[in-house]
């Protein structure tokens, strides 16, 4: 029994005439990349729609709950429970019923991502408004006649 050891100098040509291992690695990478891209494109309009619905729900959630100010803690706890519940269903395949409703959970995961991003951007927006009110960087005066009088 003999062991065949290939070296870099030996001919590893394929049908296309390319004889480098680097070419085969690059070709394998592009094939895997395009396969993943095709998989991600499947159902893309529905994914974008649910992401935008989540973003809209975050804006509505922050606006409606922010009107009274009484329900802030309870609503934040509810939002965290919903986000964590969807995350637990999405990333755990040990539940028996998860396999049957996997596509629906994936769609709600896009909704969750939109909700989370929307809440983050709303909080950032309010902080920027407070900052701009305190320092007012757009209200400045230029006096060009200071040295003439």
8 Å CB contact between 19 and 13? yes
CA distance 72 to 80: 12
Query: pLDDT tens digit string along 85-118?
Result: 888 888 775 566 666 777 888 888 899 999 989 8
What confidence score (pLDDT) does residue 56 get? 93
Mean pLDDT of the chain: 77
What confidence score (pLDDT) does residue 77 get? 83
Percentages of the chain per state (helix, strand, coil), in multiples of 5: 70, 0, 30
What confidence score (pLDDT) does residue 82 get? 87
Mean pLDDT of 135-147: 68
Mean pLDDT of 41-69: 85
CA-to-CA dists, residue 37 to 42, 43, 104, 119, angstroms: 9, 12, 21, 29
Q: Where are the alpha helices (DSSP H) in 69-139?
A: 72-91, 102-135
Sorted by sequence, the CB contacts under 8 Å of residue 32 that are 6+ apart come out as: none
pTM over 0.75: no
């Amino acid at each position: 029994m003999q062991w065949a050891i290939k070296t870099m100098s030996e001919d590893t040509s394929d049908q296309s005439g390319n004889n480098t291992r680097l070419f085969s690695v690059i070709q394998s990478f592009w094939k895997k990349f395009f396969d993943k891209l095709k998989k991600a494109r499947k159902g893309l309009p529905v994914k974008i729609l649910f992401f935008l619905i989540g973003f809209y729900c975050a804006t509505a959630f922050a606006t409606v709950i922010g009107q009274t100010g009484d329900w802030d803690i309870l609503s934040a706890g509810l939002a965290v429970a919903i986000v964590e519940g969807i995350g637990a269903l999405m990333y755990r395949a040990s539940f028996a019923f998860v396999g049957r409703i996997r596509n629906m959970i994936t769609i709600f995961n896009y909704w969750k991502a939109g909700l989370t991003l929307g809440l983050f951007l709303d909080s950032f927006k309010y902080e920027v408004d407070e900052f701009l009110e305190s320092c007012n960087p757009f209200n400045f005066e230029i006096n060009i006649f200071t040295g003439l009088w």
